[in-house]
Amino acid sequence: MEQVRAAEGALMAQLPEGALMQRAAAGLAHAVLALLAGPAGDQPAYGRRVLLLVGGGDNGGDALWAGARLAARGCAVEAVLLSDHARADGLAALRAAGGRVVPAGTAHRPDVVLDGIVGIGGRPGLRPDAVAELGRYAGVPVVAVDTPSGVDVDTGEVDGAHVTATLTVTFGTHKPCHLLDPAALACGPVHLVGLGLDLPAPAVEALQPDDVAALLPVPGPLDHKYSRGVVGVRAGSATYPGAGLLSVLGAAVGLVGMVRYVGDDLVGDRVREAHPEVVGAGRVQAWLVGSGSGDGAAGTLDEALADDVPLVVDADALVHLTAPAPGHAVLTPHAGELARMLDVAREDVEARPLHHVRAAVDRYRCTVLLKGRHTLVAAPGHPVRVTTTGTPWLATAGAGDVLGGLVGALLAAGLEPYDAASVGSWLHGAAATTAADGGPLTASAVAGALPGVVRDLLRAAPRGGSPAP
């Protein structure tokens, strides 16, 4: 977070003293009032109890100044100081507005707790006194100031006790822990308060709808089926025919001019029955290999590599891939598969996904898409992209096969591997959310929703944009 601190310092040098903290406090107070107002926005703030848990950093100051604003609106605000170095100006403002500082363990049960314990410079884990004070208010909504105290801000890792927030109000820009699991799970919804910071390129970013629309392959008036791209699918087997069908389904959503299926004859017959537009062997611009290939995965991988075109390597083929891989490859492991590739425990991959996806890039020297609740896409020389679209209902059999086919189609359409993987993952998650509509879904339904998601993106978004950090 050195980049954020440097940007804040540069801006503070141009503004009156305390102006930046006042901006943050105003946004924080507004978010707390909205939470207190309830879903319908009709609950009064007057008389509601707010507890501030205040550390010695700037986010403790943000909490105190926000508390002063809330007290001025009629809230009953109490503060427990968990540091001997709480900001004096914030304390004075809180008291002047009618707020009170109380000893630990003596506060009234609040309607909301503001977590201003540790800021972006803090280390993972919380001190016992902070854990004890938090424990007194189990079940009370918690608003984290900037980041939930106790998480690792830069890596998204957690180690020891930490705050689990109902809402996180962050300032200036999203921090990696807002995007990266497992810390992202502790953030709840994240509300961004803009501060006008001049920030460098981030190490971690998340595509927004306009970014995805700008990267989508859109045919021109002179395009034909070959110029739009041909993707080949080497997936499925007599044992796992569904993997071949679903991989084709993901590839055949209209983003390329042609899909070829090469594989088991029985699967091929079923593919052509379901998708008469799919053809057989021939020249391709990209391959998808490995999904449901079983014992034939090594052979299909070798044949695809021999073509020297971009390829997606998934599932069974991943264990046969040697490092380094071709630079135009996209590897699509889930946590268990990446654990086997790196010879580590699955639990370690799940606890440190950013670390391990970067380790995979260092070993294989190509694009790696690590599937998960928040999928990560990493490639040499690029920031890690985090996919925040999706729904828990997407954890269903065959969803990864659809994703592989979709990424393969985007590769064949001409996207660079890094963009194909991150755009494919974003579209896959958005289609799942659309198909689920708050309820269960199947992998086939995800594929069925993809054309509509693409259409809506192109209608709504301008061509152009850049990823949001």
Helix or strand run (H / E) with residue 368? strand 367-370
Helix or strand run (H / E) with residue 356? helix 353-364
pLDDT reported for residue 194: 82
Amino acid at 299: G
Q: What are the φ/ψ torsions at residue 351 (nearest 5 degrees)?
A: -80, -25
**Composition of the chain by helix, strand, coil, percent to 5:** 40, 15, 45
- Chosen CATH of 2-200 out of 3.65.10.10, 3.40.50.300, 3.40.50.10260, 3.40.50.150: 3.40.50.10260
> How far, CA to CA in Å, does 62 sit from each of 21, 46, 90, 169, 170?
6, 21, 8, 11, 11
Query: How far out from the chain centre does Cα 45 lie?
Result: 33
Length of the chain counted residue by residue: 469
- Calculate ∠ Cα 388-150-360, nearest 5°: 50
401 labelled as ligand-binding? yes
Kindly give the confidence (pLDDT) of every residue in the chain, 469 residues in length, as a single tens digit, with 9 standing for 90 and above. 555 454 444 444 444 555 768 889 999 999 999 999 999 999 999 999 999 999 998 899 999 999 999 999 999 999 999 999 999 999 999 999 999 999 999 999 999 999 999 988 778 899 999 999 999 999 999 999 999 999 999 999 999 999 999 999 999 889 999 999 999 999 999 999 986 666 678 899 999 999 999 999 999 999 999 999 999 999 999 999 999 999 999 999 999 999 999 999 999 999 999 999 999 999 999 999 999 999 899 999 999 999 999 999 999 999 999 999 999 999 999 999 999 999 999 999 999 999 999 999 999 999 999 999 999 999 999 999 999 999 999 999 999 999 999 999 999 999 999 999 999 999 999 999 999 999 999 999 999 999 999 999 999 876 544 454 5
60 labelled as ligand-binding? no
What residue ranges do the domains of the chain occupy? 2-200, 209-460
pLDDT reported for residue 245: 97
pLDDT reported for residue 11: 44
174 labelled as ligand-binding? no
Pair 211, 411: CB distance under 8 Å: no
Beta-strand ranges (E) seen in 235-355 are 258-261, 286-289, 311-313, 329-331
Q: Give the separation between CA 244 and CA 404, rounded to whole angstroms.
A: 11
User: Which residue, among 257, 293, 214, 290, has the nearest Cα to 458 in the 3D structure?
Assistant: 214
User: Which residue, among 208, 182, 159, has the nearest Cα to 356 in the 3D structure?
Assistant: 182
372 labelled as ligand-binding? yes
Q: What are the φ/ψ torsions at residue 306 (nearest 5 degrees)?
A: -65, -25
pLDDT reported for residue 466: 46
434 labelled as ligand-binding? no
Q: Give the separation between CA 25 and CA 66, rounded to whole angstroms.
A: 5
Q: Which two tokens stand for residue 49?
A: 């109890």
Cis check: omega of the bond before 467, within 30 degrees of 0: no
438 labelled as ligand-binding? no
375 labelled as ligand-binding? yes
Q: Which long-range contacts (CB under 8 A, 24 or more apart) does 77-80 make?
A: 77/49, 77/50, 77/51, 77/52, 78/49, 78/50, 78/51, 78/52, 78/102, 78/107, 78/108, 78/110, 79/51, 79/52, 79/53, 79/54, 80/51, 80/52, 80/53, 80/54, 80/104, 80/107, 80/133
399 labelled as ligand-binding? no
Pair 281, 260: CB distance under 8 Å: yes
Pair 192, 179: CB distance under 8 Å: no
Amino acid at 429: G
**209-460 fold:** UDP-N-acetylmuramoyl-L-alanine:D-glutamate ligase (3.40.1190)
Site of tokens 């359409």? 413
The Cβ of residue 373 has, within 10 Å, a number of other Cβ atoms equal to 18
Site of tokens 């089926």? 225
Q: Give the separation between CA 283 and CA 232, rounded to whole angstroms.
A: 8
